[in-house]
């Protein structure tokens, strides 16, 4: 049995709450492997998820999907229901975007991940996506967590931008408690006093989550920084800190992107990054999933 050290956070976590029972790691070797179509997260392989922040059109989606696939991305991302700060910003193609998601999935044979905000859309989105994303703004939405806990699709749970590690793990616990054990945690940056970056990427969350919890941990360096040029640095830092994967925004024409262009990598920059990540993975005794 894995007996945590008395100074271990596993002992200190859950302060004032009933303990975390399901997602906490109980033995030294306990790890959950989450399967998304053929891709496996949480094992030796590192899984790279890439694609546009938002699906904007058939042409945009095809251009980006083809390029990230050629560079070695294993799962395609693409938002159709977008959580935007301003109600006047592009909200995503919504239901119409789901058709494009199904189309590109067949066209490229890449599994797709997309965000659901409204539990009433969950069943519909499940018909088009291979993995359901719960965004940062919805990490605390317990009715939504309970709903995704009842589906049989893997869930990508992003850390709330102001959530503690404990709150993050309890959010995962909601999903697993309802019966869905296929949960991937995603560190995507937190709010701090720093305003030079969009969020502050919490690198220490990676080893900490992996020590406390048996679920795979991936990192979003795009939202974590808000700046495209920082994405390669943070991606490598995340891998070095033990991340099981990355989710990266890529756009072929960032200046004209309807959402998050400033943090999106050009396809050619993504290709260079993938080459670097392959080498780094090897040094770490891992490999990038193909």
Residues at the contact surface with ligand PEP, assessed by CB under 6 A: 53, 79, 83, 135-137, 158, 188, 220, 223
**Min CB(194)–ligand PEP separation in Å:** 17
Q: Which is nearer to Mn ion, 53 or 231 (CB)?
A: 53
Q: Which stretch binds Mn ion (CB under 5 A): 29-37, 138-146, 233-241, 259-267?
A: 259-267
Going residue by residue from 91 to 130, which x/- string records binding to Mn ion, judged by CB under 5 A?
----------------------------------------
CB 36 within 8 A of CB 154: yes
Nearby residues of 151 by Cβ (< 8 Å), 6 or more positions away: 122, 126, 132, 180
25 closest CA partner among 3, 46, 47: 3
Nearer CB in complex with ligand PEP: 25/159: 159
Cite the DSSP H helix spans in 23-136: 58-71, 95-108, 122-126
What distance in Å separates the CA atoms of residue 63 and residue 267, rounded to the nearest whole number?
9
> Phi-psi bin for 26: left (phi > 0), alpha (psi -120 to 50), beta?
alpha
Residue with smaller CB distance to ligand PEP, 24 or 175: 175
| 87/285 with CB nearer ligand PEP | 87
Minimum separation from the CB atom of position 44 to ligand PEP (A): 26
- What angle is formed at CA 164 by the lines to CA 160 and CA 169, rounded to 5 degrees? 80
Minimum separation from the CB atom of position 173 to Mn ion (A): 26
Residues that bind Mn ion (CB under 5 A): 53, 260
């Amino acid at each position: 049995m894995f007996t945590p050290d008395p100074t271990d956070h596993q002992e200190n976590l859950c302060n004032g709450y009933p303990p975390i029972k399901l997602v906490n790691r109980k033995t030294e070797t306990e790890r959950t492997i989450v399967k998304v179509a053929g891709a496996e997260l949480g094992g030796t392989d590192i899984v790279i998820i890439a694609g546009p922040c938002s699906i904007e059109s058939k042409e945009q989606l095809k251009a980006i999907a083809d390029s990230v696939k050629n560079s070695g991305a294993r799962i395609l991302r693409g938002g159709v229901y977008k959580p935007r700060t301003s109600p006047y910003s592009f909200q995503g193609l919504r239901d119409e975007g789901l058709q494009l998601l199904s189309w590109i999935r067949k066209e490229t044979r890449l599994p797709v991940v997309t965000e659901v905000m409204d539990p009433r859309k969950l069943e519909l989105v499940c018909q088009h996506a291979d993995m359901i994303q719960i965004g940062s703004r919805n990490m605390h939405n317990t009715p939504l967590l309970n709903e995704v806990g009842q589906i049989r699709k893997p869930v990508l749970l992003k850390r709330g931008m102001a959530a503690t590690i404990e709150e993050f793990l309890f959010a995962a616990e909601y999903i697993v408690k309802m019966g869905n054990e296929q949960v991937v945690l995603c560190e995507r940056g937190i709010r701090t006093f720093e305003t030079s970056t969009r969020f502050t990427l919490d690198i220490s969350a990676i080893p900490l989550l992996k020590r406390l919890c048996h679920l795979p941990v991936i990192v979003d360096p795009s939202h974590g920084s808000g700046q495209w040029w920082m994405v390669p640095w943070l991606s490598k830092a995340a891998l070095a800190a033990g991340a099981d994967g990355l989710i990266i925004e890529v756009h072929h024409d960032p200046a004209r992107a309807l959402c998050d262009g400033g943090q999106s990598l050009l396809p050619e920059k993504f290709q260079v990054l993938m080459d670097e990540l392959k080498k780094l993975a090897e040094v770490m005794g891992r490999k990038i999933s193909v």
